[in-house]
Chain A
């Protein structure tokens, strides 16, 4: 039957899987194998195909290996992905505060990359707090160069709660701080942080799915188990109403979550097409225009 949703963008996505009027910039993707799950579109060609068929024009990525394994080797993998697909991928350099040698080389390593636009921080994965001193050099550099900093965030986390994002937002007003997963579960606080700090954004990866960790035999697969949140319907409307559509950006964790599953939540949210465009690409485009991608040395 015909949906009563009058959105022409929703119509385009339902009929063609993408819309010429609404490209997508995916601000949160990964690359390469992940130890904890089989991901069918992990291989390079399949991932690129899946992104492109949903109208993704740019994907900002960091390899799984860089976050969950060998940080140097993993960052080199991200570089390979960007080199191989320079039109599609932009890189995030993963910062692992558990390795002081890598932290000392951080800025020079970053400046040696090509096509990178910022940092990816995973405080929860490295069990090191976002507002702790070891992250400061990365955040200071990002602040100075207006880089994009994608931070894994989760409600109630001891390492990367939305409250901790507020603390660093206070100190680094020029870095674009993307709250990955929008501080999942504590959406009210995340939305307040995005409303109160001009440079803090709500990033949608997995926000369009409830997380009931009793359904996952190995739980959240982070060193410290994360809190469940049993419903998410209506969250996008809530974000737009309280923080505005200018503060929400699209993300998927690809090769994890289907861009169509993500787009479905946006296309059928009770918001207008202008807000949908802000979320799908305009906001991210604005952030990318502020950063000059690295071009090696």
Chain B
């Protein structure tokens, strides 16, 4: 068998990591972007697509605006924003929202429907999600697989990244979705169950898997070691480690 690639030469781009101060912190977390970078250095992770803890546990009304300036001096960290329904006036109408994203250098969005208490569907988000689809803006979605299926039924072409799908194996729910929706992606942060990465690659190829650590929910080193030791070829590992996310962000049209 061919000797596997030296993992130090791989480019890791973490699609799911966070800094900031939630009300209930992890035993160890990153208060600031600098602390997040220190953790990434410790593990050998090159770059991060980052959300601030307030975007999930607090309100995007407050934290969307604060994220980009926080990260302006950190070329290794790229900011994301959270979405809310625009009907309440808490978030600008879709066109304006995307213009604001552009002005702040934001190319990817997060949806936390359970944390922020809304339905991620066509009735609530029709205009915005159509616009995101058209502009290839990836939406990171933390939602259980049944609700995720409802979303994809309404927006089958949306570039959606399903995150935190675990720690149990959810294949009986997820495979029908991945079989059906070619723009549905999956992050690796909760693929704890042995063999899931390998079987995903076998069934779909590596194109739709993105390396994510879910730091500080989980330890960055877990998803990192898991991916480096996956029984897939080096090219697939490189794609998952960073190239796929890089491509997704390059495809954004705003």
What is A's interface to B at a CB cutoff of 8 Å?
A: 1-5, 10, 13-15, 17, 36-41, 46, 50, 53-54, 187, 206, 208-212, 214-217, 221, 230-238, 254-265, 267-270
What is B's interface to A at a CB cutoff of 8 Å?
A: 6-8, 12, 24-29, 41-46, 114, 142-146, 164-173, 190, 192-196, 198-199, 214-226, 228-229
Return chain A residues, CB-CB under 8 Å to B28: 233-234, 237, 270
Take A230-B24, A268-B219 as given contacts and tell me if A258 and B226 are in contact as well, using a CB distance cutoff of 8 Å: yes
Q: Is the CB of B142 within 8 A of A215?
A: yes
Q: Is the CB of A209 within 8 A of B222?
A: yes
Take A14-B228, A257-B193, A258-B192 as given contacts and tell me if A210 and B170 are in contact as well, using a CB distance cutoff of 8 Å: no
Take A4-B41, A50-B194, A215-B164 as given contacts and tell me if A234 and B226 are in contact as well, using a CB distance cutoff of 8 Å: no
Chain B CB within 10 A, most for which of A216, A259, A261, A263:
A261
Q: Is the CB of B146 within 8 A of A217?
A: yes
- What does DSSP make chain B's interface, helix, strand, loop or mixed? loop
Take A206-B167, A214-B114, A265-B221 as given contacts and tell me if A260 and B216 are in contact as well, using a CB distance cutoff of 8 Å: no
Q: Is the CB of A233 within 8 A of B29?
A: yes
**Closest residue of chain A to B8, judged by CB?**
A2
What are 5 A-B pairs at a CB distance below 8 A? A1-B46, A17-B228, A187-B27, A209-B222, A217-B146
Contact of A264 among B143, B165, B195, B224 (CB under 8 A): B224
> In whole angstroms, what is the CA distance A143 to B26 when docked?
36
Take A209-B222, A260-B226 as given contacts and tell me if A46 and B27 are in contact as well, using a CB distance cutoff of 8 Å: no
Q: How far is the CB of B143 from chain A (nearest CB, A)?
A: 8
> In whole angstroms, what is the CA distance A265 to B6 when docked?
20
Return chain A residues, CB-CB under 8 Å to B8: 1-3, 14
Return chain A residues, CB-CB under 8 Å to B198: 40
Q: Is the CB of B144 within 8 A of A217?
A: yes
Take A37-B169, A232-B217, A234-B27 as given contacts and tell me if A268 and B192 are in contact as well, using a CB distance cutoff of 8 Å: no
> In whole angstroms, what is the CA distance A125 to B222 when docked?
28
> In whole angstroms, what is the CA distance A182 to B107 when docked?
40
**Closest residue of chain B to A40, judged by CB?**
B195
> In whole angstroms, what is the CA distance A63 to B213 when docked?
30
> In whole angstroms, what is the CA distance A38 to B214 when docked?
23
